[in-house]
Amino acid sequence: ETGVTQSPTHLIKTRGQQVTLRCSSQSGHNTVSWYQQALGQGPQFIFQYYREEENGRGNFPPRFSGLQFPNYSSELNVNALELDDSALYLCASSPGDGYTFGSGTRLTVV
Amino acid sequence: QKEVEQNSGPLSVPEGAIASLNCTYSDRGSQSFFWYRQYSGKSPELIMSIYSNGDKEDGRFTAQLNKASQYVSLLIRDSQPSDSATYLCAVNSGGTSYGKLTFGQGTILTVHP
């Protein structure tokens, strides 16, 4: 149990559709970050949220967006899905030393 | 040049041997360094963090950091088959990049009996 919970575990979507992925971290973890990990690659930083505001973004287009809620949960939304969006999506929070990842959501775009 | 680069691997060592994993990074302002282990189909698991030059030991794992050379390594002593996984080096630049980790591509380690 890492203290970071993601849902759903797996998801299959069609190209052009929209998807929402969810993450819940422990109380007090004000910062949440989202990563995309393609097969055989290291995770790539998408963005981070601190106290419900985005305060850092990686090299991802605007169709990747997010929200963070007062109860420490957050969402990653991806519009107009492309085949290359197929990946493992990870959220991470920092309990102190280092960053703890959730179990991830495996998204397949067909 | 990649921001964080790891030795390409895959790396294969016999059980009981020392596995050595290496990582270089390009941002001299980097402040925090992490090693993650990722089993196939699972999410990354933090195994070591290091923030200052020198060695940091935790059980069979030793992380080494040399900021002048922009180099961080992970040694696994008495390697076990259960250590077989992909090892990811991650770097955080701190400051306004708080929360952003930059990862290497990973090194696949196989420990054979």
**Of B10, B15, B18, nearest to B106 (Cα)?**
B10
pLDDT reading at B95 higher than 80: no
Phi, psi of B32 (to 5 degrees): -130, 145
Strands (E), A38-80: 44-50, 53-57, 64-68, 73-78
A56–B98: do the CB atoms touch at under 8 Å?
yes
Q: What is the pLDDT of residues B84-94, one digit of tens each?
A: 999 999 998 76
Rounded distance, CA A89 to CA A35, Å?
6
Check: CB of residue B48 under 8 Å from CB of residue B61: yes
Min Cα separation A18/chain B (Å): 24
Q: What pLDDT, on the 0 to 100 scale, is given for residue B85?
A: 97
A58–B100: do the CB atoms touch at under 8 Å?
yes
Rounded distance, CA B90 to CA B6, Å?
10
- Output the CA–CA distances (angstroms, integers) from residue A29 to A25, A73, A96, B39, in the order listed: 7, 10, 9, 25
Instruction: Say if B7 is an interface residue toward chain A (CB within 8 Å).
Output: no
pLDDT reading at B97 higher than 60: no
Q: What is the pLDDT of residues B8-66, one digit of tens each?
A: 789 999 999 999 999 999 999 888 999 999 999 999 999 999 999 999 999 999 999 99
Question: What's the whole-number mean pLDDT along residues B65-92?
Answer: 97
Q: What pLDDT, on the 0 to 100 scale, is given for residue B108?
A: 96
B44–A94: do the CB atoms touch at under 8 Å?
no
Q: What is the pLDDT of residues A57-83, one digit of tens each?
A: 999 999 999 999 988 899 999 999 999
A43–B105: do the CB atoms touch at under 8 Å?
no
Name the burial class of residue A101, with classes exposed (0-12), middle (13-18) and buried (19+) by CB atoms within 10 angstroms of its CB.
buried
Asked if residue A61 has a cis previous peptide bond (ω within 30° of 0), the answer is no
Higher pLDDT, A31 or B8: A31
